[in-house]
Structures are given as C-alpha cells and as structure tokens.
Structure 1
Amino acid sequence: MIVGVAAAAALVAPGAPAAARSATPPAAPAAAPFHAEVRHATVGGERIAWYERGSGPPLLLAIGTGSTMAEWDPALLALLARDRRLILFDYPGLGRSSRRPPGARTSFAGLADTAAGLLREIGIESADVLGWSMGGFVAQQLAIRHPARVRRLALAGTNPGGDRAVLGPPADQRIDSDPDPSDAAVLRVLYPRTRTGQAEGRAFLARLERASEAGTIPDDFAVPAATVRSQVAAEDPWLRSNANARALRRLRLPVLVTAGRADPVTPPLNARRIARLIPGARLALLPGAHAFLFGERVRFTRLLDRFLGAP
C-alpha cells in the first residue's frame, strides 16, 4: 500500500516538534559496490591466492580444469553470495597462486589437501563445498580425506573415477583438455549447441569481461599450459583406479549431485552413478550442457539453498 503525504504526516506523534513532523527522513546510505580483494595463504609451502564474497555460512568453490577463481559466472556468484560467505581460490600453478617447479605433478588428493589447508589457514573449521567438473574430483577427495572440514557436499558436472566414469566424445574431451582453446570451442562444450544456448554463452563471456573491469572478480586469468597439462595428466590415474568410487560408499554426510542433461564433457550418467554410490545422496538433473549451473543459475541456486539449508 502507498501512503499519501497527509496520511504519512498523521503517523508522526502529535507531541513531536514541528521539525520532526515536517523533516524528511534521511535516505539510507547506498551499499558500496563489492570489490574482489585477493589475498594469499601459505599452504604446504605454496602461496595460494583466494578471495571471499558475501557473509554467512562459508561455501568453498572448487573450479574445473585449467580455470582460475575468476572464471565462475559473476551472475551465479551474486546469487550465491546473498546469504553465504563464498571462498574462491586458485589452484597451485595458475592465476595468482605461486608457480610450481618444472615437472611438478598434480593429483586430486593433493589439491584436496591444499583446499583443506586453505580452510585451516583462514580460520574455517568446516565449510559447505561446491565442486564443478575437475573441481568435483577435488571436492570428492576433500570429503574423503578431510571429512571434518566438509559440512555438506555439492557436486556439479563431475565423475566418480575408475570404471564407473563415463566420458563424452573425444572431440569434446580434447576441448576440455586444451591449454588454450578458442572462445568458440569453449562455448560448444559449456552451453547447448543451439542458437539460444550459444547466445547465453556469449552473454557469460561478456559478464566476465564487465565484472573483471569493474573489479567484482579479480583480473586473474593467467593459466600456464604446463599447469593445464599437469591437471589433465592427473586424470589418467583417476580414471584407472576405483579407489575414489569405493571411498564414496563410506561418506556419511549430506551430498547433492547435479548435472546438465546435455553435458557433452561429463554425461549425466556420471551423476546417477555417484548418487548411487553415496548413501543418502540426492540427485538433480537440470537443462543445459557442462556449464548448466551458469545457464540455469536461478534454478541451481534455489536447489543449492534448499540443500544447504537456511543460513
């Protein structure tokens, strides 16, 4: 209901001073725009770059192969940060984290240990965790190796490893593993190959550019080819061993498994298999390709909010 001027005047106490009856209440100060402040924590002798956004229960975000913390969709981050403290970080060897010596090997167990060490160094005992794509490998290992650090686990577009993993077509796998893919190639796997889907992909790239210029995400896109090759090489032992899949059966924490119904990189059958492995896991398939959580960000955020619970 809109209150008119006369009615609003009647709301002021009769005995109040005339100035109080006539003064216009001062407008609330506008909130300062968010600016990403990159910090560093030393974990296992390496400097790990990270930043946070929002306030509330902590939510750690682990991103995929060859990507920095700046490559999450800014529109999704804005939704997630309304009620949560987002913790975003760069894996060792890329972005603003320290470089690794030549020939350094990557393992998802090691990256999970780095994530656990980061939480410890910044004073977070336990956090909710969202892992997307390769970040899902890291998140699974984090929950397995450091269960006390993970309150609830959300997985997006990932696989369980071993003979239960299902890979997409080789051409799409090559795009996902390419150290320097073209924007057009990236959009072919991240978004549906329809006019609408590719337009949404181009809008995502435009959001990244605007957010970087405005400072709401770090200008943090340095990805050395050697680091990408090391991350890709770590997938070979991941796919040859069933150790991760066996360990998933022992998890005793709430888990949400999500996937895009048209994901060409990580087909949704992977999500079904992960959900069957983890006792009590919830499963949700959404429209979209590998970046379904960006394209369906409103629906994904609602789903995640229901799973994580009200702050």
Structure 2
Amino acid sequence: MKPRVLVNEVKGEGPPVVLLPGGLTGWVSWTPLANALAARRRTVRVQPIPNELGSAGERGDAGHTAAIERESLLMTVDALGIGTADFMGWSSGGRALIEFALAHPERVRTLTLVEPAAYWILDRLGESTPKVARLNQFLHTRAGQDVSEDDLAEFVELAGLVPSKDQARDRPAWPRRVRHRMALSWSSEQAGRPDRDVAELAGIRCPVLLVRGSETADWLGRVVAVLDDRLPGTRVLELPGDHACHLENPEAFLAAVERHLAQ
C-alpha cells in the first residue's frame, strides 16, 4: 500500500486549519464545527484511508501503517498548496497528528488534540492497563475482518463513548456508527503503533491545546496527562462529557480553539 492524497473538502477563506477525524464515523463528525470555523478560516476536512474504504465496506489492508497515514496527510496538504497550518485531530486523528508533527514540525503552526488515542505512549511507559490491553486485543484481532454490530457495541464502550456496551444501541449516534463500523477493521497494530520513543514527544514545540472529557475513559485521560507533562507548550481544556466532549459542547470548544489559534 502506498500513501496518496486523501479525500478532502475545503470551505471558507483565510488561515488554513486541517481537521482529522476519529477512526469510526470519519470526517462527518467534524461537519458542524467545520462549518463554524469556515466563517473565518480556510477549513479542510480530510477523510483518512481507513474511514474512506472502511465506510465503503472494505476490510482493512495489512499494508496500512502509521507511516502511510502520515505521508498521505503530507501529500494532501501539499496538493492543496498549504505550507503551514493549524491542525486539529480527534481520537485516532489526534494520534496521527502526533506522528505528523514529529515528522514534519515545520508544517504545523498549532495542534488541537481531542483525547488522542495514542495508546502506544502508555505501552512505552509500561503503563498499559487491563482496559488498554483489552482495547488493543479487540482492535488487532478484528483487523482485516468483518465487524459485527456486537463488535461495534464493544468498541463504543472501550472507546469511552458509553458506560456500557449494553447502552450503545440506545444512543442517537448508533445508526451512523453502524454504517461506518467496517472502519474498525483497519485498526491494525502497525497502524496504531508508530516506531517512536516517548522522549521524542518533546520535539513537538508548537502550541498544543489538549482536550479531554470529564467522564472519559481513564486511559484516554492518562494519555492527555502524559502529553501535558512531556510537551513544552500545552494547555488543557476539560469539557463535560465523554470521548466526544467537543461535539457535546461545541460553543465552549470553539471559543477555546479561537483563543488557542489567536495566541
């Protein structure tokens, strides 16, 4: 598998901001916030390859890696004529942006990371919990496989989007998540574990806004805490809610983002 320009949508004019989604529903999750940002900025939503192909029903390709993800984003901003931009990423999109910022720091003006699913950081620190191990086992055993609705319900719990998988089908987002569930088959070990050391995180020297939910999974909160400790220029925003706290509190999130970008 080779990197390629990602499917993207551009709205608005002004300084560029690039939005990377989480690993399940993809770029549709950013739509309301992107529309608001586009009033002042050239706002780019990108659709990572796992979201594009997984949402079309394709099983994950073992050739897709963190490096493919990183270089595909680089090709995309190059194709759009973007030199330096503000980047925002949620969940796996946040994990991808950590890798991108380490490899291409000159392209990143600021980062906004909403609960980045960078579980590799905890692995490297020897802090993996049973819940992280369970999530990893779940994702890696389903890589390249069909994903059932029961699988999806378990993932939604492990990702901190519901307290229990028994409640997953009761949430308004369930029908949309079902349509995109095959994107989970792209969450292989080689995609989620870049060949990095935790000490390298200090190389991200741009301003970073870290966002976490007040009711999120403990391991996601711990990733945010480690990044806050290891990165030199961070602010932490806690919003009410779970892993999708920025979507549950759009006005507060956008106000914090505007302050962050203005600095």
TM-score by length of 1: 0.65
CA RMSD after TM alignment: 3.8
How far residue 112 of structure 1 moved from its aligned partner, in angstroms, is 1.4
Match of 2:262 in 1: 309
Task: Name the aligned partner's letter for residue 198 of structure 2.
Answer: A
How far residue 92 of structure 1 moved from its aligned partner, in angstroms, is 2.1
Name the SS for the 1:110 alignment partner. helix
Identity of aligned residues (%): 20
> Would the aligned equivalents of 1:172 and 1:265 in 2 still touch at CA under 8 Å?
no
Describe the shift of the 1:54–1:171 C-alpha distance in structure 2 as closer, same or farther (beyond 3 A): farther
- Answering whether residue 94 of structure 2 is matched by residue 136 of structure 1, we say yes
Describe the shift of the 1:232–1:288 C-alpha distance in structure 2 as closer, same or farther (beyond 3 A): farther
How far residue 78 of structure 1 moved from its aligned partner, in angstroms, is 3.0
How far residue 131 of structure 1 moved from its aligned partner, in angstroms, is 1.2
CA distance in 1, matches of 2:3, 2:133: 37
- Structural mapping, 1:115-134, within 5 Å: 115-134=73-92
The gaps in structure 1 that reach 5 residues or longer are 1-43, 210-220
Deviation per CA, 1:115-140: give whole Å up to 9, x if none. Answer: 11100011111110011111111100
Describe the shift of the 1:291–1:121 C-alpha distance in structure 2 as closer, same or farther (beyond 3 A): same
Describe the shift of the 1:259–1:167 C-alpha distance in structure 2 as closer, same or farther (beyond 3 A): farther
> Would the aligned equivalents of 2:62 and 2:188 in 1 still touch at CA under 8 Å?
no
Name the SS for the 1:169 alignment partner. helix
How far residue 269 of structure 1 moved from its aligned partner, in angstroms, is 1.8
Larger Rg: 1
Describe the shift of the 1:132–1:113 C-alpha distance in structure 2 as closer, same or farther (beyond 3 A): same
How far residue 201 of structure 1 moved from its aligned partner, in angstroms, is 5.0
> Would the aligned equivalents of 2:228 and 2:236 in 1 still touch at CA under 8 Å?
yes
- Structural mapping, 1:23-172, within 5 Å: 46=4, 48-70=6-28, 72-95=29-52, 103-158=61-116, 159=118, 161=121, 162-164=123-125, 169=131
Name the SS for the 2:23 alignment partner. coil
> Would the aligned equivalents of 2:66 and 2:192 in 1 still touch at CA under 8 Å?
no
The gaps in structure 2 that reach 5 residues or longer are none
CA distance in 2, matches of 1:112, 1:101: 20
State how many pairs are aligned.
247
> Would the aligned equivalents of 2:13 and 2:41 in 1 still touch at CA under 8 Å?
yes
Task: Name the aligned partner's letter for residue 78 of structure 1.
Answer: N
Describe the shift of the 1:62–1:192 C-alpha distance in structure 2 as closer, same or farther (beyond 3 A): same
Task: Name the aligned partner's letter for residue 92 of structure 2.
Answer: M
How far residue 48 of structure 1 moved from its aligned partner, in angstroms, is 2.4
> Would the aligned equivalents of 2:135 and 2:155 in 1 still touch at CA under 8 Å?
no
How far residue 95 of structure 1 moved from its aligned partner, in angstroms, is 2.0
- Answering whether residue 135 of structure 2 is matched by residue 173 of structure 1, we say yes
How far residue 68 of structure 1 moved from its aligned partner, in angstroms, is 2.5
Describe the shift of the 1:119–1:104 C-alpha distance in structure 2 as closer, same or farther (beyond 3 A): same
Describe the shift of the 1:251–1:184 C-alpha distance in structure 2 as closer, same or farther (beyond 3 A): closer
TM-score by length of 2: 0.75
Describe the shift of the 1:275–1:166 C-alpha distance in structure 2 as closer, same or farther (beyond 3 A): farther
Name the SS for the 2:98 alignment partner. helix
Match of 1:32 in 2: none
How far residue 232 of structure 1 moved from its aligned partner, in angstroms, is 3.3
How far residue 305 of structure 1 moved from its aligned partner, in angstroms, is 0.9
